[in-house]
A and B are shown apart, each in its own frame.
Chain A
Amino acid sequence: MGHSEYVSGIEVIGETNLVSVSGDKTIRLWNFKTGDELFQQQLDAPAYKCAINASNHLAVVLLKTPISIGFFSIINDDSPKIISLGEQALSSDFKTVTSVVFNDTNILLVSGVKDNDESLTQSLCLNDTGNCSGELSQLLSKLLAGIKIEQVPDLSILFKKRFDNLKDYHERKKRRIEEKSQDN
């Protein structure tokens, strides 16, 4: 059972299925007992983490600028499928995301790191109704205020490295020649 890039989030759906999100810009639904791929949903950016709630709604962190959260509904009946529910962009302060978790069926909490390595959180509502920010958001902001993260995860290492040996060799040769001519 494979993706073509890193697989960074998996969750169980029902008794026999699981959903996986990947850097190859897909979400795939599998039957893990038979290994069959049941459904594939295209994304417009590589996925990083995911979170699921009791109603089988999946929130996926999409690595684009600004980092966004895609919401999907996983239908797990006789013909399993994934339906897109829309997307919400996070605040542009987010340099990277460290956690996504559903606080409620309809409220998603996202924690991450800013450019200056300080941590921050944001609440997103799945539905457009209701007030997402509230006492909890303020409490979280207070708890995290000013705290810097020491080791921020580097997401670029997740992507497959493709080595072009011939290109490397030519570049090194060029550098060698340049250094020789400088010495002379």
Chain B
Amino acid sequence: MALLAKTELNLIVCIQRDVIVIDSQTNEYTKINIPLPVKKPKSDGESEDPGYADDQESSDSEKKNGKQRSESHQINLAAVSPSGKLIAVTTLGDKFLTVLRICPTNGVTILSKRPLYRVASSIRFSPDSKLVIVADKTGICYAYNAERNSALQIQEADDHGKKLFGHLSIVLDILMTPNQEYVKKESYTKLSFSLN
């Protein structure tokens, strides 16, 4: 879907799997495509890997429904960091969190790609631009280091993000307050939590 996000210097437009960064002053733009991941071959007895489109599951459900439904691989959510330098996008189908950096010369590069367990329903950067919070439709939130190589206090493995508290249903929006507490929302009620 067409998604828009705004930093001080740029307007970001995401369409299908393309991220377009438009310079707000000159209206010149750079486009970058998020490539589809190469699927790892599954060995027998291996538990479900996060992040890769589970073809077997989707083709089974297609047979049940009795109709063909091609799986969408488009970008479904986008967020920009308060610093204006990073963009985070999540994709359907392959369920990845991709973090991109906007370079001063208006180039855009992909910084990292991390798999998600489920399709994201909401993403937001922390006010200090160091974390990306991703929430999914089951209500669980994960925190990821925005810049992979920076030293941070997050204990869990970087790849899968630190798991935060859960809700009972889909999280529609999430934000962090200036002093790094969290506020989450879901479909039917609103709850707030603090990180510390």
Which residue numbers of A lie inside 8 Å of B, CB to CB? 1-3, 5-12, 15, 18, 20, 32, 35, 98-103, 109, 111-113, 119-121, 135-136, 139-140, 143-144, 147, 149-153, 158, 160
A-contacting residues, B1-31, CB 8 Å: 1-6, 11, 13, 15-16, 20, 22, 24, 27, 29
Alpha-carbon separation in the docked complex, A42 to B11 (Å): 32
Does B183 touch A at the CB level, under 8 Å? yes
Residues of B within 8 A of A (CB): 1-6, 11, 13, 15-16, 20, 22, 24, 27, 29, 70, 72, 74, 76, 92, 172-175, 177-179, 181, 183, 185-192
B15:A20 contact, CB within 8 angstroms: no
In contact, A109 and B2 (Cβ under 8 angstroms)? no
**Smallest distance from the beta carbon of B98 to chain A beta carbons, Å?**
18
Q: Which residues of A lie under 8 Å from residue B189 when comparing CB positions?
A: 2-3, 7
The 10 closest A-B pairs by CB, nearest first: A150-B72, A119-B2, A99-B4, A111-B2, A7-B185, A151-B72, A6-B187, A98-B1, A101-B4, A149-B1
Q: Are A1 and B188 in contact (CB under 8 A)?
A: no
A102 and B192 contact, Cβ closer than 8 Å, known pairs A8-B172, A12-B175, A149-B1: no
Q: Which residues of B contact A109 (CB under 8 A)?
A: 4, 6, 11
* CB-defined contacts of A143 to chain B, threshold 8 Å: 13, 15, 20, 29
Measured between beta carbons, the chain A residues less than 8 angstroms from B70 are 150
Measured between alpha carbons, how far is A139 from B4 in the docked complex, in Å?
A: 13
- From residue A175, how far is it (CB to closest CB) to chain B in Å? 21
A149 with B2, Cβ < 8 A, contacts A2-B189, A20-B190 known: yes
